[in-house]
Amino acid sequence: MKKQTIFLTTLIIAAIFFTACEQIPDHCGKGVTYDPKFQFCFAGGAHNLCNGSEFNPLTQECMDEKTVGARCANGGPVTLGTPCNGYALSTASAPADGGEITRTPDNTNYPAGTDVVLFAYAATGYTFIGWAGASTSTSVSETVTMNSNKPLIALFQPNTPILVTTEYPPNGGNIKRVEDGDQVTVTAEANDNHTFDRWAGAVTSTQPTVTVTVDEGKTLVAIFTPARHMLTVNVNPVAGGTVFVDNTAMAGITYHDAGARVEVLAQAAAGYVFTGWSGASTSTNRHVSITMGSADQALLANFVYTGATTTDPCAADPGSAECCADNPGDWSCTVNYGSPVAQHGQLRVEGSQIVGSHGQPVQLRGMSLYWTMGPAGGRDYYNSSAIQFLASDWKASVVRATMGVEANWWIDQQGYIFRPEENRQRVITAVDAAIANNIYVIISWQSSEAESYQAEAIEFFRDMATRYGGGVNVIYEIYSGPTTRDGMSNEIYWSSVVKPYMQAVTDAIREIDPRNIILIGSPRWSQHPDVAAADPVIGDNLAYSMHIYAGNIAQRQAFRNRASQVMEMNKAVFASEFAATDAVTNSPLNLAETDIWIDFMDQHKIGWVNWSLNSMNETSAALTTGAPTTGNWNDYLSASGVYIRNKLTTAPKRYD
């Protein structure tokens, strides 16, 4: 009972996470349980899953040991004192170019009690000297047990007598240094919304200023921690409606890093209308964005009772014409509120359109991850936190996991043919994260000669279909970039080389997954969907890939004409790779031509995925060097990233 008493206040504050009701049980509605003790409704039976114990909606936990049979929203078991999403493990190398870290299993969040094995690999010119953070071991192999969120930093010492200093995280602060012979005095200065925690490496200290004698190679890391602030969101009156915090129905107290943007939406209950916010916002729009500054903030959603027979039109359909007529600035009237998968369900191809289970066209828009075997500035974004940030902050409805197949550029960049399980695990991590965040995910086989690896492709896609074919989230792109052959026309190359491969892999998937969409590539790096559509692969729910690089003079109106020809054949197209540059590294942005492509795709409701989420020195990269790999990277946006994020968070142009 003591634990129940401790959480009772939190439970009452958070009670309106569930549909609030008056003290008449009938007001709870059909299938909803009324609890006379706390005088509110438990929608969806979440309370009952705890078998009579108290349920804390803020942490998604049951408050005592009566948890047999309880399940989290993600399907996992409810464990006393453990968040449903598990615990996060964040890793970094200091300095960043000093070496790399691998982890097994390769996830970002782990169930409580999971043992994670990490290895530190020193780069040329460096020696591994130990860990900082959750471990201070000096062994290159370290095992951590996930019973809390844990940071872990691998320390690498230069082999020459210099002092290397590193900030962790990179946006946490700065290090100033004054050198006097072999004596170097360093001072850690935290940026806004961070605090200095301690030094690690050559010196262990909590003092911001220390002096180091550089008689050998040394590494020193300044560790900063983000300030966290409390956001309190409540409803007035309690029975008036529901509030959503970052797309989760939840009222009461949540904690967020300083600088984080929190999305909050109010939805009126039957008989009530929303009248506006008070506190941190005074907007009358149901959706507001709250940026956490340097202090706690509070927000109150206000509703007025108008009669039991009235219904807020936005409650039934937030994006409906009736709702938007009264709320023209509402977020729901620009970017549909609610998760993409919840809105659209099972996708299918109907004529020239991809449609949802509701029968209406669906235009997915999102980001492509870099090749799985790419450099660290690309492959490191295959983690659940990065994809969660794309879904929640960038409003991506789809993400693309790009399996690098045959590339063998150097030792740490080997594709599926050389390192199948390592690359497969990155794809699995991305797909699992997309499913957890209720967005769609494209599983792409990135190759320019996939026909040489048909057996491997069939094995891989059989595995993916077995794992995910029973759900609605996945889309298969079975050959991303067919090229061409000397002396062959596009038509002959397609019919004699590429199409037989496409048919074989399609048939293999359909033996396991008869429903989810398959994307079909075409000659010259998927720039000729008209050729493939004119001699089509046999099967249902097939669409034709386009790879669009707006900076390429050959990919302008003539390419749009080819896309139109495919739609005139009553077949669907999807831009599975779309960039504002040419395909050549560091080619300039062409935003004027990109705008034309965006308008064309909006007009025809063609889905698109931007290339790509990485922080390397490429103009098509969405992020700049040093960007965090687990989200919260909006201070590191490239020019392309700024443009694409703005497109994703703004409603597509309506042509109907």
Q: What does the pLDDT read at residue 505?
A: 97
Q: What is the pLDDT of residues 475-492, one digit of tens each?
A: 999 998 888 777 778 888
Q: What does the pLDDT read at residue 311?
A: 54
Q: With DSSP H G I counted as helix, E B as strand and the rest as coil, what are the percentages for the chain, rounded to 5? A: 25, 35, 40
pLDDT at 444 over 60: yes
Question: Tokens 């970052």 appear where?
Answer: 246
Q: What does the pLDDT read at residue 243?
A: 83
Burial class (CB in 10 A: 0-12, 13-18, 19+), 330: buried
For residue 311, the tally of other CB atoms under 10 A from its CB is 16
For residue 289, the tally of other CB atoms under 10 A from its CB is 13
Q: Specify the range with the lowest mean pLDDT, choosing from 13-27, 45-59, 604-618.
A: 13-27
pLDDT at 408 over 70: no
Q: What does the pLDDT read at residue 312?
A: 56
Determine phi and psi for 196, rounding to 5 degrees.
-75, 135
Q: What is the pLDDT of residues 273-329, one digit of tens each?
A: 888 999 988 888 777 878 877 678 889 999 888 875 555 555 555 545 555 555 544
Mean pLDDT score of the chain: 80
26 confidence band (pLDDT: 50, 70, 90): very low
Average pLDDT over residues 32-44: 36
Which percentage of the chain shows pLDDT scores above 70? 79
Burial readout 25-48 (b: 16 or more C-beta within 10 A, e: otherwise): eebbeeebbbbeeeebbbbeebbe
Report which of residues 229 and 26 the model is more confident about. 229
553 Cβ neighbours under 8 A, 6+ residues apart: none
Q: What does the pLDDT read at residue 15?
A: 36
pLDDT at 520 over 50: yes
3-state secondary structure 297-351: EEEEEEEEECCCCCCCHHHHCCCCHHHHHHCCCCHHHCCCCCCHHHHHCCCEEEC
How far is CA 580 from each of CA 140, 291, 352, 555, 556, rounded to the nearest angstrom? 42, 29, 25, 11, 12
| CA–CA separation, 585 and 582 (whole Å) | 8
pLDDT at 58 over 50: no
Amino acid occupying residue 48: N
Task: Count CA atoms within 13 Å of residue 421 on its CB side.
Answer: 3
Q: What does the pLDDT read at residue 504?
A: 96
Question: Going by DSSP bridges, is the β-strand pair 474-477/440-446 parallel, antiparallel, or unpaired?
Answer: parallel
pLDDT at 82 over 70: no
Of 613, 635, 632, nearest to 622 by C-alpha is 613
pLDDT at 2 over 50: no
Sign of CA dihedral 380, 405, 437, 617: positive
How far is CA 330 from each of CA 265, 336, 375, 579, rounded to the nearest angstrom? 10, 10, 41, 29
Average pLDDT over residues 207-229: 88
Q: Which domains does the chain have, with CATH numbers?
A: 1-85 (no CATH), 87-226 (no CATH), 227-338 (no CATH), 363-648 (3.20.20.80)
Structural contact between residues 191 and 175, judged by C-beta atoms closer than 8 angstroms: no
Q: What does the pLDDT read at residue 607?
A: 96
SS3 label, residue 241:
strand
16 confidence band (pLDDT: 50, 70, 90): very low
| CA–CA separation, 378 and 444 (whole Å) | 15
DSSP assignment letter at 395: -
331 confidence band (pLDDT: 50, 70, 90): very low
Of 374, 380, 431, nearest to 401 by C-alpha is 431
4 confidence band (pLDDT: 50, 70, 90): very low
Q: What is the pLDDT of residues 268-280, one digit of tens each?
A: 887 888 889 999 8
pLDDT at 39 over 90: no
Q: What is the pLDDT of residues 551-599, one digit of tens each?
A: 877 677 888 999 999 999 999 999 999 999 887 667 788 999 999 999 9
Q: What does the pLDDT read at residue 35?
A: 37
Radius of gyration over every alpha carbon of the chain, rounded to an integer in angstroms: 26
SS3 label, residue 135:
coil
Average pLDDT over residues 518-531: 91
Burial readout 410-433 (b: 16 or more C-beta within 10 A, e: otherwise): eeebbbbbebbebbbbbbbbbbbb
Which percentage of the chain shows pLDDT scores above 90? 41
Burial class (CB in 10 A: 0-12, 13-18, 19+), 359: exposed
50 confidence band (pLDDT: 50, 70, 90): very low
